[in-house]
Structure 1
């Protein structure tokens, strides 16, 4: 089996997503999940941020006079997501060596959902740390129509190598509940999206990975979009006069980042019921890298929703200096594996 968890001790696990070069062989096929639905806002952002002046992407009145009759997605956005959506399997990629062919066979529009599949076409040893992998990645829309085919070569770290080798214990957790992929009857490996309710055990701790570095631009943007216009969140001179090194990250977004970091393990959540006992430590600043870890405090079956269970977790966050940033208890509802759930019908 392939796993996303490595054992630190009997009750603590380190998340690591992406297979090592030594886990791949020619002919393997991978079904990448989740899919992603494109929006017209995605289209506009990609065009304007990249200074793409083709107005068919963002001028609806113009697009109505073309053969498409509506805005067509920027093709390089599809390309980026074709690669990005393979991360759960090929996330230990060092670099893309070359792309021999990029074929876009059907247009994508706002409202379309992209799903991605890959096949290992070739493997070649480089040295004791790296291997070269030849891949064919294909994209399909929600109707099963092929929209793109990408042939390319990557360099991939071996399981025992790479920049995270000091963080990740060399003790893979091989229990079936931790499987990163499930093998379908046709032999393809289907990526998994979190742990079911029955497989979450009280007292176990998960160190969430990868960590997250916060950029100054996104910190200011989140403050402004939250209407948190306190000048210390976006006015550098004001922040310095207050004795700060620069604008601070709004504390509510610090909670949001921590929750997001935990979704690789708690990816089968149906709803977040709330937080309690929220505590804050040092200010979170642009340039900080944070790591979150969560401990399962309690699990119980839901009385009102029998297909789900209620889970209480404690999440704690520290920065790159080991300083405490925030912590909270969170109550969430999680799908049960043994009860009806949406995954099979949705292609997961």
Structure 2
């Protein structure tokens, strides 16, 4: 079973890898997906309003107070979106969702809840297509009290081993214990893992973060406005049209934010960023470009004052699809040691 989160792409160089292949599956396999995600009433209201959902139970607190729920009820389709997104680490290698046979909403979801997802393989079919097999899943959504809030039955096409577009024979799985993507819990379920523990970080190793991220002008505009940025370059289309010598670009702090976010699938067991140094932005990122990032581990040492943690120096570089370097920086990270931190208590 390919339960490894990286492939080898060179000496001391690894690329993030996600998902199980069809051959890795068996009926009854259960996966606990991590991390969970909070749902706020703002999320709920925005989802309803953006979709022009006129059921005011979701966004009118005064109306909702007169109902049996006493407060706005979560939009069911928002819950379904979250659950299907949350399972994507293990089910990354799907070609398509063929259908959703049933969705049951079994318990209310409110702003302030935390959602978790679990999936169980209930059926496997070889199918006629040599690239994929067909898997039937039951997906359970649970809240922070372990109460089931939704149950979904869906059918997926899953790529067979070696058939996914990202599979290459010269990039074998990095089959090391520190790189496991899941562990088996006491009930026999696979639990997804996120990030390297301090002991897993070795100086000189480079981790290619995958996949990349395309940044649209509207995303940049929104983040600039939320930051109270007044320069019209970031949010005034008429200004850019008038001053055509000023090329549209992505808000620079957002570039740093996106690059940092890309690193968190490998650098996810961080207690805290202790600080950035040497941030370089060699050229602007253009709206619509896709950025890719990689990080090289520098010196690592135990923390003198925190026995359950260590300190790692890391350099991160980001490129756009054409290969141009668009961001580089160094960070000092405080990282949990293996078996330490909040993970067991939080159900990880």
Question: What TM-score does the superposition give when structure 1 sets the normalisation length?
Answer: 0.96
Pairing of 1:11-160 with structure 2 (within 5 A) = 11-126=12-127, 127-160=129-162
Secondary structure of the 1:260 match is helix
Deviations 1:60-93 (A, max 9, x none): 1111001100111000011011111101100122
Q: What's the CA shift for 1:118? A: 0.6
Aligned equivalents of 1:169, 1:78: Cα separation in 2: 40
Pairing of 1:170-319 with structure 2 (within 5 A) = 170-240=171-241, 241-245=243-247, 247-319=248-320
Q: What's the CA shift for 1:319? A: 0.2
Secondary structure of the 1:89 match is coil
Q: Does 1:347 align with 2:347?
A: yes
Kept in 2, the 8 Å contact 1:216–1:286? The answer is: yes
Kept in 2, the 8 Å contact 1:299–1:312? The answer is: yes
Aligned equivalents of 1:59, 1:73: Cα separation in 2: 12
Could you tell me which runs of 5 or more consecutive residues in structure 1 were left unpaired when the two chains were aligned.
none
Kept in 2, the 8 Å contact 1:160–1:170? The answer is: no
Could you tell me which runs of 5 or more consecutive residues in structure 2 were left unpaired when the two chains were aligned.
none
Secondary structure of the 1:211 match is strand
Q: What's the CA shift for 1:244? A: 4.2
Secondary structure of the 2:139 match is strand
Q: What's the CA shift for 1:171? A: 0.5
Kept in 2, the 8 Å contact 1:215–1:287? The answer is: yes
The match for 2:5 is 4
Q: What's the CA shift for 1:250? A: 1.0
Higher mean C-alpha deviation, range 257-266 or range 9-18? 9-18
Aligned equivalents of 1:328, 1:141: Cα separation in 2: 38
Deviations 1:304-345 (A, max 9, x none): 22211111110000001111101000111110015x321111
Q: What's the CA shift for 1:242? A: 4.8
Q: What's the CA shift for 1:139? A: 0.9
Question: What TM-score does the superposition give when structure 2 sets the normalisation length?
Answer: 0.96
Aligned equivalents of 1:175, 1:140: Cα separation in 2: 32
Aligned equivalents of 1:147, 1:63: Cα separation in 2: 19
Aligned equivalents of 1:337, 1:175: Cα separation in 2: 15
